[in-house]
Amino acid sequence: MFVTPIVAVALAAFPVAFAQDLTNFVGTWSSGAKNVVTGAGFANPANMSFTYPLTTGVSYAFSEDGFYEVARYRFTSNGASYSKSPMDQRTDPSCAGAEPNCITGVLNWHHGTYTKETNGSLVLTPFGDGFQQIQDPCAAETNFVETYNNTELYQSWQMFYDQTDGLKLHLFQFDGSPVAPLFQVYSTPNMLPTQLLRNDTTTVDTGNALFAKNAGSRSWTTTTVSGVVSGVVVAGVASLLL
Ligand SMILES: *[C@@H]1O[C@H](CO)[C@@H](O)[C@H](O)[C@H]1NC(C)=O
Ligand SMILES: *[C@@H]1O[C@H](CO)[C@@H](O)[C@H](O)[C@H]1NC(C)=O
Ligand SMILES: *[C@@H]1O[C@H](CO)[C@@H](O)[C@H](O)[C@H]1NC(C)=O
């Protein structure tokens, strides 16, 4: 490309306008339609409640001084496509006895501290007040809330600058699978206070190896408890790793 001296001078004079720091992911990030965003609009950890976003998605926020927050809203199905939300399926006769069509809804929130490891990985260590709500219309336990306190390892991360979308962040999970591409929605972290926001005093050991390490208090919205429960919980936890 032919660059005129005047353009060259202009470029040299305003390098900041063209430079993007792709080594620092401080800010607030959100996938897809950007309806899921960390902060007060999503979760209330004090009473373990969520405000339902308009669409599913994931959001991450990182502060300069080492704090993170994660917000996720997912529907997962056993490979079947199904357009109804989990609770609407309850009243749909075609759902009855047809578990493969069932969609599980998971809302998940946690916060804590992050470290960028020398091998390029990213480790999110939770404070202990994280929680999630799982809705499974085809299970005995249709809707319940439980604590979530998993340390999350991300094998690697990468930032890009795109003319159309601006800054983008790609995170790769412990097994290398990518998180949906994240777009920067704010250059600053949109976060609840970076401290423990709820004290859990009740501990429930489900006896399930995968779940045991996250076991904590639960508030059940139905009273039925059956052997299906731990399977549902495992499915819910597993879906978050996707
Ligand atoms: C949780 O607390 C918020 C704020 O006080 C309130 O608006 C909301 O209704 C509560 N939700 C539940 C499920 O208690
Ligand atoms: C990178 O470091 C983290 C934290 O020390 C560790 O858990 C992870 O296994 C390491 N990854 C590789 C590929 O060595
Ligand atoms: C949550 O996990 C962190 C990191 O492993 C740990 O330090 C903390 O004690 C855990 N909190 C609870 C309530 O289990």
Tens digit of pLDDT for each residue in 23-81? 999 999 999 999 999 999 999 999 999 999 999 999 999 999 999 999 999 988 754 44
Token reading at 15: 């390098």
Which atom of ligand 3 approaches the CA of 214 most closely? 14
Residue 19 has pLDDT above 50, yes or no: yes
Cβ neighbours of residue 93 closer than 8 Å, sequence gap 6 or more = none
119 near 155, Cβ under 8 Å?
no
Token reading at 11: 């470029």
In the chain, % helix, strand, coil (3-state, to 5) comes to 15, 35, 50
pLDDT > 90 in the chain, percent: 56
Cβ neighbours of residue 204 closer than 8 Å, sequence gap 6 or more = 215, 216, 217, 218
In this prediction, residue 239 carries a pLDDT of: 39
Q: Which one of the ligands is nearest to 120 CA? A: 2
Q: Which one of the ligands is nearest to 123 CA? A: 2
Token reading at 44: 């209330």
Token reading at 100: 């493969």
Place of tokens 């709500």: 133
Backbone torsions φ then ψ of 17, nearest 5 degrees: -65, -25
Q: pLDDT digit string (tens) for 142-188?
A: 889 999 999 999 999 999 998 999 999 999 999 999 999 999 999 99
What is the rounded CA–CA span in Å between residue 27 and residue 175?
A: 25
For residue 200 and ligand 3, the question of a CB distance below 6 A is answered with yes
